[in-house]
Amino acid sequence: MKKIILTVSIIILFLINGCDKGIEPADEITSPTGFKGKVTFSGNWNNNIKRTHLVVFKKPINKDDDFFPPNLTFVIDSIPKGASQFNYNSLENNYIESFTISAGEYSYVVVAQSNTPALSLQRKDWVVIGVYCENGDQTKPKKLIINAGRISDDINIDVNFNNPPPQPPGGM
Amino acid sequence: MKKFFFLLILSTSVIYSQSSTGTIKGRVVAVDNSPLEGVNVFIPTTNYGSATDIRGFFEIKNIPFGVYNVEFSLIGYKKELKENIDLNQISVNVTVILYEAAFETKQIIVSAGKYEQDKEDLSVSTTVLRPEIISQKSIHSFDDLLRYVPGVQMTMDQVSIRGSSGYSKGAGTRVLTAIDGVPFYSGDMGDIVWEMIPLQDIERIEVIKGPASSLYGSTAIGGVINIITKSASKNPFTNFKSYIGTYDKPSYDIWKWDDSYRTFYGLSLTHSNHYKNLGYTFSIKKFDDMSYRQNDYYKRYTAYTKLNYLFSDSSNLSLLANYLYSMRGNYLYWKDSRNALIPKPGEENNKVRSNRLFLSLIYDKKFSDSFTAQFKSSYYRTKFDGIAIEFTTSTANLFRNELIGTFNLSDKFRLISGLEFSYTKVKSNIFKSPDYFGSGLYAQMEYNVTEDLILNAGARYDYLKLDTLKGANAITPRAGLNYKLTNELILRSSIGTGFRVPTPSEVFTSAGVGGGIDVIENPNLTYETSISFEAGLLYNYSKSLRFDAAFYQTEYNDFIEPNLTYTGDIQFINLPKARVQGIEAIIDWDFVPQMFKLNISYNYMWSKDIEREKAMKYRPRNVLYTNLSYNHYPFEAGIDFRFWSKVEEIDDALVEPPLNYVKEGNKRVPVYVADINAGFNFFIGSLPAKTFVSLKNIFNYNYVEFLGNIAPIRNITLSFELFY
């Protein structure tokens, strides 16, 4: 009996000290996480436009609902009408305070315009005018890759009002 | 001279016989010090034996001097062997406590079906718990007890039977909890306040797995937990219990937020007695827990009274009153995984104050052998104040009346029928101030076709109207059978429907939860329905080895779940379809009878949101519970182990961009929790006492049941109980 108690005690002590501890604290990240770049415009601005935002989507847009949170991940401040270039930084130009962006891959980054004074969350109110893409081919969206503790830069989008990109599903 | 020798021999033998035999006598009582009548008391391998009288006393006379083992046994109680009783004088006194058997499967009466049935005659899976495990496992709140029940899953304080619920901060339970058959959930949230359940006053707990809407209506769509309270003691009985404990230091230095040990303690005093035809039980309790997390403390005070008046052998009235006052910190989520035991910034001082009063009145009248009626009336007042930047408050008054008739139409045929009305008035600044009316009419019959085959079937009609919402009508039929194929093998099967009307909190909540996220109302929320099927078997391989297995499936329509809307708010919505399927297996093995017992249960569950084609949130696919217990008077000990596989789906929207409301909230792991406990029974003078030590989460394993909430870290409890 004593041997059994001793053996069980040793096993329990071994398990107590040797087991996986489950959830662990994440590594500390001291530097900020985000992205920055510029949007350049060519062609003429539409006078009726009230808002122009750079927006980030987690996954490609396949249906109306994909245009909004949680797939809509980040919104940059509205770009002033008539601008020919807009430099932005996600840390300084976060339009929706409660939204944050963290490390990961984001499939669809675009500049979109709306003619509603307030920020609308209706797909039909928006038109995509520029896409973050490979080699200027707006039919091939490029993934935005964000690493923890780093600012991904050169996330540039060229908007040509005379050559708009293909529109995602939904809308007007 | 011959006469002299004869007299000498005779006198010597008389002296010898007078001094060489004696009497073993004493008393046998239950754990509450009440006398046990009819206990068999005998000395194994001899013909010496006796039985206890109505006061629990026994006497075995004319036993030759010597050292004996004496065995005490009574049906429904664990056998006790009192060893090495040294009989070397005229009489030896022995006092013995017999303990009711926990997790028994045979000859257990279950009344959750609104009348008393043998557990082995049921058509649905049922677990019956005895109150001894509350002391053995150092249970301080009823929800901790449910963590050891096969097929039952606790996610924080929200109960789910066979995957019926995920997690919604307690709003809209799908498991009906009842005290003596009287439903016990609040009028506004529909939640259950576990700390109100009087742990020291429980006779047994019945857990019915599967929908019971055909008897209990809306809330019982996932099952029923029926808590039967003790009757008043026939003799004066007082129980004092206290416990004290402390949490260990966290696993990681970075998690330490307080240099001192965080402690908890509780005190309770219960007194019970009879005066003529009036039985009464009073108890008061205080609980205090500093918690291992910042701003997660609680202080609770409860008072409980049960009065029972016996008008005659065929009629009695009982009144139960239960009151709770609590003040607790309102810990919602961790700051992040590096600060896993402190709340999000701005939530360090949030607290909740609660006042709750539950009253129930039950009148039983047996009109004849074939007809018994029962009237149940209850009032449940709940009030909470959430004290934070935004002040929230809600007061709900819930009234309920039910009339039940049991007709024994023949030896083989029984009919149970009832009528129920309820009314709730809510006054709140977050749920609006709706009122809620409910009514139900039900009937269920049981037919013993043969000695081995029992059929039952029934249906319930409900009409519920929640404030301005359109009234809901539902008819919920069910049917079941129980077939004893052999003496050892019992088959059961049932099919039933269920429904649940949303609670005021699910429809009308309109409040901020922080971080710019609001919960918004959904006046279009409609009631959910379900259809369930179960097939199971019970196999008594031997007296010491039993198997129970079941397959179950439930299809839900319009299943109500919290969801993130496209505007970034949380809203309860109806999922078009959801399905939960599973297999449950239980092994109960007394591998050293009356001493070592092993209980293993395994549940494989596949839940599916059919439209989204993924698992439902907070439902682990694999759950394993094991318990090894040792009982050899005066010692008791046990080891428990719980395993959950990693939960597949959680509220992703809360832990991922864009909201990222709970930072690193997607950190989750499989759950491995082991607890050990040991106890010693002894006497202080002639008063029975017991002490237990319990070490929970012995590996200090860090896991979450809900995102951003580390479950209790390793903690130790020392408890003491005295009965007089």
User: Which class is domain B109-193+195-209?
Assistant: mainly beta
| Residue B62 CB-density burial (10 A; 0-12 exposed, 13-18 middle, 19+ buried) | exposed
Q: Does A118 touch chain B (CB under 8 A)?
A: no
pLDDT digits (tens, 9 = 90+) for B30-54: 876 778 888 889 888 777 888 888 7
Say yes or no to pLDDT of B17 above 60.
no
Q: Under an 8 A CB cutoff, do B703 and A22 touch? A: yes
Find, among B151, B305, B16, the residue nearest to B624 by Cα: B151
Pairwise CA distance, residues B518 & B567, whole Å? 10
Q: Which residues contact B259 (CB under 8 A, 6 or more apart)?
A: none
Mean pLDDT of chain A: 86
Token code pair at residue B129: 């718990």
- Range B2-98 classified under CATH 2.60.40.4130: yes
Find, among B470, B435, B560, the residue nearest to B174 by Cα: B560
CB B283 within 8 A of CB B201: yes
Q: Which residue has the higher pLDDT, A5 or B286?
A: B286
Q: Under an 8 A CB cutoff, do B255 and A25 touch? A: yes
Mean pLDDT of B288-296: 96
pLDDT digits (tens, 9 = 90+) for B490-546: 999 999 998 888 888 888 887 766 555 678 888 888 888 999 999 999 999 998 899
Question: Which pLDDT value is given to residue B15?
Answer: 38
Name the minimum distance, in Å, from the CA of B697 to any CA of chain A.
10
Residue ranges of A 129-168 with Cβ closer than 8 A to chain B: none
Nearest chain B Cα to A20, which residue?
B701
Question: Which pLDDT value is given to residue B396?
Answer: 93
Question: Which pLDDT value is given to residue B416?
Answer: 93
Q: Does A69 touch chain B (CB under 8 A)?
A: yes
Q: Is the peptide bond before B345 cis (omega within 30 degrees of 0)?
A: no
Token code pair at residue B659: 């909201």
CA distances from B459 to B154, B447, B462, B478, B675 (A): 29, 15, 10, 6, 43
Which residues on chain B place their C-beta less than 8 Å from a C-beta of chain A?
251-252, 254-255, 336-338, 340, 515-517, 564, 566-568, 652-653, 656-661, 664, 667-669, 672, 674, 676, 698-704, 710
Residue A118 has phi, psi (to 5 degrees) of -95, 160
Interface test with A, best of B257, B566, B706 (most A CBs within 10 A): B566
Question: Which pLDDT value is given to residue B236?
Answer: 84
Say yes or no to pLDDT of A172 above 60.
no
Whole-complex ipTM = 0.77
- Beta strands B315-329 and B351-368: pairing type? antiparallel
Q: Does A100 touch chain B (CB under 8 A)?
A: yes
Say yes or no to pLDDT of B104 above 50.
no
Nearest chain A Cα to B708, which residue?
A23
Longest dimension (CA), chain B: 119
Q: Does A104 touch chain B (CB under 8 A)?
A: yes
Lowest model confidence (mean pLDDT) among B9-13, B26-30, B673-677, B716-720: B9-13
Question: Which pLDDT value is given to residue B161?
Answer: 92
Question: Which pLDDT value is given to residue B11?
Answer: 40
Q: Which residues contact B660 (CB under 8 A, 6 or more apart)?
A: A99, A100, A102
Name the minimum distance, in Å, from the CA of B241 to any CA of chain A.
30
Host H or E run for residue B12: helix B2-20
Mean pLDDT of A116-140: 87
Token code pair at residue B509: 């909540």
- Report CA torsion sign: B680, B686, B688, B689: negative
Name the minimum distance, in Å, from the CA of A78 to any CA of chain B.
18
Say yes or no to pLDDT of B556 above 60.
yes
Say yes or no to pLDDT of B719 above 50.
yes
Lowest model confidence (mean pLDDT) among B396-410, B422-436, B514-528, B630-644: B514-528
Name the minimum distance, in Å, from the CA of B71 to any CA of chain A.
24
Name the minimum distance, in Å, from the CA of B113 to any CA of chain A.
41
Longest dimension (CA), chain A: 91
Please list the residue range(s) of chain B that carry CATH number 2.170.130.10: 109-193+195-209
Name the minimum distance, in Å, from the CA of A75 to any CA of chain B.
9
Smallest Cβ–Cβ distance between A68 and the set B515, B566, B669 belongs to B566
Per-residue pLDDT band for A16 (boundaries 50, 70, 90) equals: low
Mean pLDDT of A134-152: 90
The structure tokens 């590594």 sit at A27
Pairwise CA distance, residues B359 & B377, whole Å? 8
Nearest chain A Cα to B251, which residue?
A21
Host H or E run for residue B8: helix B2-20
CA distances from A75 to A51, A98, A105 (A): 12, 11, 16
Nearest chain A Cα to B340, which residue?
A25
Question: Which pLDDT value is given to residue B4?
Answer: 45
pLDDT > 70: what percent of chain A? 89
Q: Is the peptide bond before A165 cis (omega within 30 degrees of 0)?
A: no
Mean pLDDT of A111-123: 85
pLDDT > 70: what percent of chain B? 94
Mean pLDDT of B242-254: 95
Pairwise CA distance, residues B337 & A121, whole Å? 32
Q: Which residue has the higher pLDDT, A98 or B160?
A: B160
- Chain B partners within 8 Å of A19 (Cβ): 672, 699, 701
Name the minimum distance, in Å, from the CA of B269 to any CA of chain A.
36
Question: Which pLDDT value is given to residue B247?
Answer: 97
Cα B161 versus chain centre, distance: 12
| Residue B411 CB-density burial (10 A; 0-12 exposed, 13-18 middle, 19+ buried) | exposed
CB B38 within 8 A of CB B52: yes
Kindly report the CATH number that applies to the domain delimited by B211-236+246-723: 2.40.170.20
Pairwise CA distance, residues B2 & B421, whole Å? 94
Interface test with A, best of B662, B666, B699, B706 (most A CBs within 10 A): B699
b/e string for B518-555 if b means 16 or more Cβ within 10 A? Answer: bbebbeebbbbbbbbebebbbebeeeeebbbbbebbbb
Say yes or no to pLDDT of B489 above 90.
yes
Q: Under an 8 A CB cutoff, do B657 and A24 touch? A: no
Smallest Cβ–Cβ distance between B657 and the set A19, A21, A101 belongs to A101
Please list the residue range(s) of chain B that carry CATH number 2.60.40.4130: 2-98
b/e string for B75-84 if b means 16 or more Cβ within 10 A? Answer: eebbbbebee
Question: Which pLDDT value is given to residue B625?
Answer: 95
Question: Which pLDDT value is given to residue B441?
Answer: 95
Host H or E run for residue B303: strand B298-312
Q: Under an 8 A CB cutoff, do A74 and B658 touch? A: yes
Encoded amino acid at B406, one letter: T
Mean pLDDT of B67-83: 84
Question: Which pLDDT value is given to residue B185?
Answer: 87
- Chain B partners within 8 Å of A98 (Cβ): 515-517, 568, 658-659, 661
Find, among B574, B463, B492, B488, the residue nearest to B529 by Cα: B574
| Residue A3 CB-density burial (10 A; 0-12 exposed, 13-18 middle, 19+ buried) | exposed
Residue A103 has phi, psi (to 5 degrees) of -55, 140
Q: Under an 8 A CB cutoff, do B653 and A104 touch? A: no
Question: Which of the listed ranges B302-316, B608-622, B653-667 does the model predict with the highest average pLDDT?
Answer: B302-316
Q: Under an 8 A CB cutoff, do A28 and B338 touch? A: yes
Mean pLDDT of A135-147: 91
Say yes or no to pLDDT of B1 above 80.
no
- Chain A partners within 8 Å of B254 (Cβ): 25
Q: Under an 8 A CB cutoff, do B667 and A26 touch? A: yes
Mean pLDDT of chain B: 88
Q: Under an 8 A CB cutoff, do B703 and A23 touch? A: yes
Q: Does A16 touch chain B (CB under 8 A)?
A: yes
Q: Under an 8 A CB cutoff, do A21 and B702 touch? A: yes
pLDDT digits (tens, 9 = 90+) for B192-237: 888 888 888 888 899 999 888 888 888 888 899 999 998 888 778 8
Lowest model confidence (mean pLDDT) among A13-17, A105-109, B115-119, B544-548: A13-17
Q: Count the alpha carbons within 13 Å of B398 in the hemisphere toward its beta carbon.
A: 27
Residue B550 has phi, psi (to 5 degrees) of -150, 145
Question: Which pLDDT value is given to residue B543?
Answer: 83
pLDDT > 90: what percent of chain B? 50
Q: Which residue has the higher pLDDT, A59 or B511?
A: A59
N-term to C-term CA, chain A: 81
